[in-house]
Structure 1
Amino acid sequence: MTKPLPNERLRALMLQRGISTEELAAKCAIDTKSVERWLSHGRVPHRQNRWTAAKLLDADEIYLWPSILTRGIRGRGMSRSELIELYPDRASVPREIWLRLLSEATTNVDVLVHSGTFFAQVQPRIADELADRARDGVRVRLCFGDPACAAVAVRDAEEGLDGTLSAHIRASLIYYRSLVEVEGAEIRLHSTTLYNDLFRYDDQLIVNPHVYGSPASLNPAIRLQKIDGGLLFDLYCSAFERIWNTAARWSGFD
């Protein structure tokens, strides 16, 4: 049975607009439990309630409930509905988002980075959290840049890091040494030119594109949710799989 997905777009807009569950329920003349089901279980309201809620939140009802599009609408139209939020830089992604996505994952946690130092900094118990997820049956895959590869040296030069990127990768790997012995978790090192950092949690994905000469922390972050018929989520996940399949398993420092 498919686990119901929470409506993150509705939740985010309510927070941004300062609209409480009680206020939205009152506006729609319904019980607050109905709104809570919209949020936690992704329930789609009746048409009149959708219109009322969308007007109150100053949003498009298709953005809030993309599943109301007819089954025949695919591709580009659906891909617009995959976007949950666009952040101007990675640091603008709230810490609670990172923590909640990890704690709620039930099937997949996939990470693709060069060093990913910040990933441990916003989640100080990251190795323990990932180990817990793996023991609960989540497939955990972490893919870091090979500190000795040419692609890392090129990125280091492009960002003016003065030869420190390899050291950052090695330092970052220290956080995850304990995962090497955890069943269901695996760490690999890749040697590819990395165009995006990727962070997948089940059917949600945060994409951190790389901009030439700019550190990843200053580049935008795109939060996506997998939607039937959309293209973007699967596009990025396919890239992860291609890189993962060429990466070498890391078993710790020699």
Structure 2
Amino acid sequence: MANDRLRDALDRSRVSPAELALLTECDVKTVSRWLAGRVPHPRTRFMIAKRLKEDEDFLWPGAQRAADDVSSSAGMVQFYPTRGVVPPNLWDRLLDAATADVGILVYVGMFLTEKPDLLDRLHKKAAAGARIRILLGERESIAVKQRSVDEGIGPETISAKIDQANAFFGSLTDVPNIEVRNHSTVLYNSIYRFDNDMIVNPHVYGKTAPMAPAMHLRKTATYGLFNTYSDSFEAVWRSATPKAGAR
């Protein structure tokens, strides 16, 4: 169905299809498709609505609600442009609420070691019956050294940081319900699981983890994003090497 609201808004604002194409960096044929009823991507809708001084919901009724429904059904709670802007209290809140399954998949996870009470909290979680699994990078693996080069910090830097992480989490290796392993996989994402909630930090070539996006996911009744990344965690866990002394 033709989008008469968009066409009328263009006329009122005296914006031609060619001008709209220039604004959105699309071709005129794409604008014609929008006028014919195709819905632009969210970022493009925002740009158009701002230029035409109209509400998105007026120009494309229900489009935002449909997008929200898709995110909800997939298990997306919140998207963060960088891991660095994830609220610090969210990490604490998710860890505090977890009672059954805590899983950490990283190469280093150095920011976690900056929490002075983390080890004590993990000890208490394990004592209460929670399963704690920590996956750190294998310092000599090709994937680790390549990641260090890709980030422009030299081939041995991440390996040295892994040594620090191994030392930090080393006291946990003999604790019942806690296991630490080292993995050699290419780390496409860092994963932090807290029962049915998860923060996933997808990695971006040439960027350090804090500068890459983060997603807060929640397990849904049907197979969704949470399950996708949970399956990935389990695959890495099966391939990883238990640390000496681990139970």
TM-score by length of 1: 0.67
Partner of 2:10: none
CA contact (8 A) 2:190 2:202 kept: yes
Once superposed, what is the RMSD of the aligned Cα atoms?
1.9
Provide the rounded CA distance (Å) in 1 between the counterparts of 2:98 and 2:66.
Answer: 27
Question: C-alpha offsets along residues 21-80 of structure 1, whole Å, 9 cap, x if unaligned?
Answer: xxxxxxxxxxxxxxxxxxxxxxxxxxxxxxxxxxxxxx95995xx7xxxxxxxxxx4764
Provide the rounded CA distance (Å) in 2 between the counterparts of 1:117 and 1:78.
Answer: 30
Partner of 2:225: 232
With over 3 angstroms needed to count, the CA separation of the structure-2 counterparts of 1:222 and 1:143, relative to structure 1, is same
Using the TM superposition, give the Cα deviation of residue 175 of structure 1 relative to its aligned residue in structure 2, in angstroms. Answer: 1.6
Match of residue 125, structure 1, among 106, 117, 123: 117
In the alignment, is residue 223 of structure 1 matched against residue 219 of structure 2? no
Mapping of 1:53-132 within 5 angstroms?
A: 77=70, 80-121=73-114, 123-132=115-124
Which structure 1 residue ranges, 4+ long, deviate > 3 Å from structure 2? 59-63, 77-81
Q: Which has the larger radius of gyration?
A: 2
Partner of 1:138: 130
Q: Structure 1 stretches of 5 or more lacking a match? A: 1-58, 67-76
Question: C-alpha offsets along residues 130-188 of structure 1, whole Å, 9 cap, x if unaligned?
Answer: 11111111100000000111110111111111121000011112221111111000000
Using the TM superposition, give the Cα deviation of residue 120 of structure 1 relative to its aligned residue in structure 2, in angstroms. Answer: 1.8
The percent identity for this pair of structures is: 38
The aligned length equals 181
Using the TM superposition, give the Cα deviation of residue 251 of structure 1 relative to its aligned residue in structure 2, in angstroms. Answer: 2.7
CA contact (8 A) 1:83 1:223 kept: yes
TM-score by length of 2: 0.69
Question: C-alpha offsets along residues 186-229 of structure 1, whole Å, 9 cap, x if unaligned?
Answer: 00000001100000000001000000111011000000000111
Match of residue 179, structure 1, among 159, 172, 184: 172
Provide the rounded CA distance (Å) in 1 between the counterparts of 2:157 and 2:67.
Answer: 46
Using the TM superposition, give the Cα deviation of residue 127 of structure 1 relative to its aligned residue in structure 2, in angstroms. Answer: 1.1
Provide the rounded CA distance (Å) in 2 between the counterparts of 1:170 and 1:237.
Answer: 26
